[in-house]
Homo-oligomer: A and B are copies of this chain.
Amino acid sequence: MKNTAVLLITCPDRKGIVAGVGEFLYRHDANILHADQHQDAERGLFLMRVEWDLAGFSLDPSEFPRRFAPLADRFEMRWRLERSDHPLRVALFVSKYDHCLMDLLYRHQTGEIPCEIPLIVANHPDAERWAIFYKIPFHLIPVPAAAKAEAERAQLDLLAAHKIDLVVLARYMQVLSSEFVNKYPQRVINVHHSFLPAFVGAKPYHRAFERGVKLIGATSHYATADLDEGPIIEQDVIRISHRDGLEDLIEKGRDLEKMVLSRAVRWHIDHRILVYDRKTVVFD
């Protein structure tokens, strides 16, 4: 595995950005591995992702902000630098359904999702077996309706104590408060078991079954204060027929949920996602 840096840029679209960034990296001997960009013509927006090998890079990453500042200022960039030797620290939240959790943990172990997972947070004890199997600390925090704020405080304390960068709601069945979500903007990923915006809210499979749709879907998105309205990261569908009962929908849906959530987590961890308005750009 190479030791790489990823630079993510969002700024007004103007002439000279590519030349400026290219020249800056070249001057410091960056060996570019991937570069991708996107222009949103309607909004006059420029978005870019560049990844380069840190071997041979002549600028100390700690020096990067100061040196990059003039260019960033000139083009009014919002930017950040990520480094593969600083893997993200991810907390997995789970309730009773554990298929997404077990899927993510397996992918983590095979190296598909290169991050650190310092803890699993659950409001239900069943998932602990996976924490034991994969040797990850497990924190059971029940969320009684009457004491939700308290539970969230305990969760937030844990996230702070473990310096968590990303919260993944792996079929965590509690709605997070706006306060919680706003503390981790674009850093909480949720999976909703429908093809959003169809079947926003509770019991989407039941409603899909009643409506008689011919495909069911799942959606991973960043959680926002508006439930199921956050920027969509990934969606997928699978065909169903009149022969599929509600149970079949739930079963087929599990496979979709695993796929769309694990892809979203992976892309986030690879620093491939940029958000603007309510949309995501996923660089591939």
Contacts and interface: CB of A to CB of B under 8 A. Distances in A.
B29 A18 contact: no
Interface stretch (A4-12, A33-41, A141-149, A153-161): A33-41
Contact of A255 (B31, B41, B259, B284): B259
A15 B37 contact: no
Copies in the complex: 4
A231 B255 CA distance: 25
Contacts of A129: 133
A260 to B, nearest CB: 9
B197 A212 contact: no
Q: Is chain A's binding surface mostly helix, strand, loop or mixed?
A: mixed
Contact of A232 (B42, B211, B278): B211
A213 B237 contact: no
Contacts of A110: 99
Nearest to A26: B19
Contact of A23 (B22, B32, B231): B22
A25 interface: yes
A197 B215 contact: no
A106 interface: yes
Contacts of A34: 39
A197 B209 CA distance: 12
Interface string A166-180: 000000000000000
Nearest to A197: B198
Interface of A: 15-16, 18-23, 25-27, 29-39, 41-42, 99, 102, 106, 110, 112, 129, 133, 195-199, 210-215, 217, 231-237, 241-243, 245, 251, 255, 259, 277-282, 284
8 contacts: A15-B29, A38-B242, A41-B245, A196-B198, A196-B213, A212-B278, A242-B282, A243-B284
Q: A-B pairs with the 5 shortest C-beta distances?
A: A212-B279, A19-B22, A19-B26, A198-B198, A18-B22
